[in-house]
């Protein structure tokens, strides 16, 4: 009797998946080494999304897959790869996603981590002497599924080593955690984007992100397309306001604001405004137990344009969170809030 065909498994993401993906390529993460990526390149591991499947796409090495896939191992041992995080951070959990890897996924995986300073250069990862610490013991993986595992370590790490046993394919690796930025390295008076994810900012809540995720607002660079931003659905309610709350990388006084509608041409908001508050507790902010002050009064927006505001910013005390309001709905690619504190 034939075994039943393996199908994709849907799982609900745990709370730690709301943290920043420290390994994301778009944030600056890199896959530095793999023992074997014969079928599918190691760099795919940290690309956005969960990967795609094209049924009739093949290469000269076999079936094209959107992930990292090693060949079938006929010798003792297992495969592994090294990932450099976009920034040093404290890890809250992992998603080892085997999306579309149904007959070729590894049955188990483990993860080690290390802190490697910027002055240390490793040229040969296959033989490098690194003080790896196991932060995820050998654990089972389901085929065609997001495999979530929490991380209990409070240490700060810069690099990970993903082990798969014995071989096979993983579509994506997400490493959720908190950015650890050394603010002592910032020169006095230097402008820093307090709304940048790479500096530790996080979009913590919004009323609508029907078309694209609020976290895109805080990514580096300008958006690559219309999907690389925060976009709400069309709202027919008169006087509607959509909004998103961002916890800044650290409290500060804002000197310069950029609201970028790059690629949003027929669906940009008509206007925007920004409010701020000071709190060391996200729950207070989310449940309305703070006083919002006007930071940027309502401003007219244009399609596909980088709007820069400086003189329009109102005098304000130090703030830790901001609320970007858009009227009546639409899409914004990036949000920047610069401070020299």
Element (H, E) at 282: helix 282-286
Task: Please report the DSSP string for 25-61 in residue order.
Answer: GGGT-EEEEES--SSB-GGGGGSSSS----TT-EETT
CATH of the domain at 105: 2.60.120.260
What's the predicted TM-score (pTM) here? Answer: 0.93
CA distance 298 to 70: 54
SS3 218: helix
Which residues sit opposite 170 in a β-bridge? 68
Measured distance CA(339)–CA(341) in Å, rounded: 6
Residue 327 tokens read as 């009227």
Which of 137, 129, 178, 183 is closest to 156 using CA atoms?
178
User: Does residue 1 sit within a domain?
Assistant: no
pLDDT digits (tens, 9 = 90+) for 123-172: 889 888 899 999 999 999 999 999 999 999 999 999 999 999 999 999 99
Structural Rg of the chain based on CA atoms: 22
* Predicted local confidence at residue 2, as pLDDT: 55
pLDDT tens, per residue, the chain with 341 residues: 455 556 677 789 999 999 999 999 999 999 999 999 999 999 999 999 999 999 999 999 999 999 999 999 999 999 999 999 999 999 999 999 999 999 999 999 999 999 999 888 898 898 888 999 999 999 999 999 999 999 999 999 999 999 999 999 999 999 999 999 999 999 999 999 999 999 999 999 999 999 999 999 999 999 999 999 999 999 999 999 999 999 999 999 999 999 999 999 999 999 999 999 999 999 999 999 999 999 999 999 999 999 999 999 999 999 999 999 999 999 999 999 999 97
Structure tokens at 191: 């402008």
pLDDT at 7: 66
| 300 half-sphere exposure, CB direction, 13 A CA radius | 1
CA gap 32, 43 in Å, rounded: 8
6 belongs to a structural domain: no
Pair of tokens at residue 307: 């709007």
Q: Residue 5's pLDDT is what?
A: 59
Would you say 125 and 33 are in contact if contact means Cβ atoms under 8 Å apart?
yes
Q: Examine residue 313 and state whether it is found in any structural domain, yes or no.
A: yes
For residue 255, what are the domain limits? 185-339
Residue 4 included in any domain: no
- Of the residues 160, 179, 198, which one is the last residue of a structural domain? 179
Report yes or no on 124 lying in a domain: yes
State whether 33 and 159 are in the same domain: yes
8 A C-beta contact, residue 208 and residue 241: no
Report the domain count for the chain. 2
- One domain, residues 163 and 206: no
- Whether residue 309 is contained in a domain is answered as yes
User: What span, in angstroms and rounded, lies between the C-alpha atoms of 175 and 292?
Assistant: 33
Q: Is residue 10 part of a domain?
A: no
Nearest to 260 by CA among 337, 338, 336, 334: 334
Residues 128 and 172 reside in one and the same domain: yes
305 lies in a domain? yes
- 193 and 311: one domain? yes
Select from 179, 198, 221 the last residue of a domain: 179
Distance CA 21, CA 93 (A): 10
DSSP string covering 294-316: EEEEEEE--TT-EEEESTTSPP-
Q: What is the pLDDT of residue 4?
A: 56
CA distance 122 to 115: 13
């Amino acid at each position: 009797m034939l075994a039943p065909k393996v199908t994709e498994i849907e799982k609900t993401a745990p709370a730690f998946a709301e943290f920043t993906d420290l390994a994301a390529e778009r944030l600056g993460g890199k896959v530095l080494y793999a023992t074997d990526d014969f079928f599918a390149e190691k760099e795919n591991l940290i690309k956005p999304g969960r990967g795609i499947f094209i049924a009739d796409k093949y290469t000269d090495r076999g079936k094209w897959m959107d992930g990292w896939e090693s060949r079938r191992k006929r010798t003792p041992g297992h495969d592994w790869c090294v990932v450099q995080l976009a920034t040093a951070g404290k890890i809250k959990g992992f998603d080892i996603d085997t999306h579309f890897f149904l007959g070729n996924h590894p049955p188990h995986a483990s993860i080690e981590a290390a802190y490697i300073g910027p002055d240390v250069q490793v040229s040969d990862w296959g033989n490098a002497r690194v003080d790896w610490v196991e932060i995820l013991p050998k654990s089972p993986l389901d085929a065609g599924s997001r495999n979530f595992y929490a991380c209990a370590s409070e240490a700060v790490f810069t690099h990970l080593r993903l082990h798969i046993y014995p071989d096979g394919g993983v579509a994506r690796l997400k490493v959720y955690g908190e950015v650890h930025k050394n603010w002592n390295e910032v020169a006095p008076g230097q402008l820093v984007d307090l709304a940048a994810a790479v500096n530790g900012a996080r979009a913590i809540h919004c009323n609508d992100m029907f078309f694209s995720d609020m976290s895109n607002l805080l990514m580096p660079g300008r958006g690559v397309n219309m999907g690389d931003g925060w976009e709400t659905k069309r709202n027919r309610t008169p006087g509607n306001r959509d909004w998103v709350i961002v916890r800044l990388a650290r409290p500060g006084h804002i000197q310069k604001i950029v609201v970028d509608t790059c690629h949003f041409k027929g669906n940009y908001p008509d206007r925007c405004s920004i409010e701020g508050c000071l709190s060391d507790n996200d729950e207070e902010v989310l449940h309305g137990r703070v006083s919002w002050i006007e930071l940027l009064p309502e401003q007219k927006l244009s399609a596909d344009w980088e709007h820069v505001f400086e003189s329009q910013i109102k005098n304000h005390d130090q703030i830790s969170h901001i609320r970007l309001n858009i009227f009546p709905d639409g899409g914004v690619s990036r949000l920047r809030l610069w401070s020299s504190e």
